Amino acid sequence: MSVLFVERRQNRLSGFSAWNSWAFLLPRCRSDQRCSRVIGLLACLVGLFLFGPGCGPAPFNKHLQKLRKATTTQFKASEIRAAALPLFSQNGIFTNPAPTQISSLPIFSDAPTNIDTGFPLGNTNILSFHIGSGFGHWGLVVCLQDQDSQQLTNDPWFKPRLTPWSDGIYFYSDFR
């Protein structure tokens, strides 16, 4: 009964407003300081609940970071370039099997038999090895020579998706 009275009194004094439509939820909070604090705390908790999960890298990005670190510690970039060299002479998109030196890398440990290979940007001096699905792809991009990487790193779509490993060799991920 007091809730209805508060809403009617507010409507008579100040006309209809957004506060008046929510007055039935907070009948006495305008004058009670303790109640206002509780409402402020609830608003902060709701904000943390809604925006808190977005803080920090997603679990799968953490997984990719771990795979990148394992790849760089266990293998040399020069070995990867040497394994990719024979594929640069082929003109087209490749399917499995990828060279064993490539498929055995930790970055491909989630699906070592499903590595797609191709020439990004139509440049036959840049070779991409990647795995993934509709939710994103990740892998390696190998440039035949260091200067070939300029086209890749200047491309507005590729640039934010590349993480340098060595000159002309990049980790690729479109999970950002």
pLDDT digits (tens, 9 = 90+) for 109-147: 888 778 888 888 888 889 999 998 877 889 999 998 888
Please give the average per-residue pLDDT across 97-115, as a whole number. 86
What are the structure tokens assigned to 109, written together?
Answer: 């440990």
pLDDT reported for residue 52: 54
**Alpha helix positions (H), 15-127:** 18-22, 33-51, 59-74, 77-84, 100-103
Q: Is the peptide bond before 97 cis (omega within 30 degrees of 0)?
A: yes
Q: Which CB contacts under 8 angstroms, 24+ apart, belong to 58-65?
A: 58/175, 60/175, 61/173, 61/175, 64/107, 64/138, 64/173, 64/175
Amino acid at 147: Q
* 139 closest CA partner among 113, 106, 167, 168: 106
User: Whole-prediction pTM value?
Assistant: 0.65
| pLDDT tens-place string over residues 61-89 | 888 899 999 999 999 999 999 998 888 87
User: For the chain, first and last CA: distance in Å?
Assistant: 53
8 A C-beta contact, residue 124 and residue 89: no
Distance CA 100, CA 44 (A): 52
Mention every residue, 6+ apart, whose C-beta is less than 8 A from residue 84: 99, 102, 127, 129, 142
Residue 30 scores a pLDDT above 60? no
Return mean pLDDT, the chain: 76
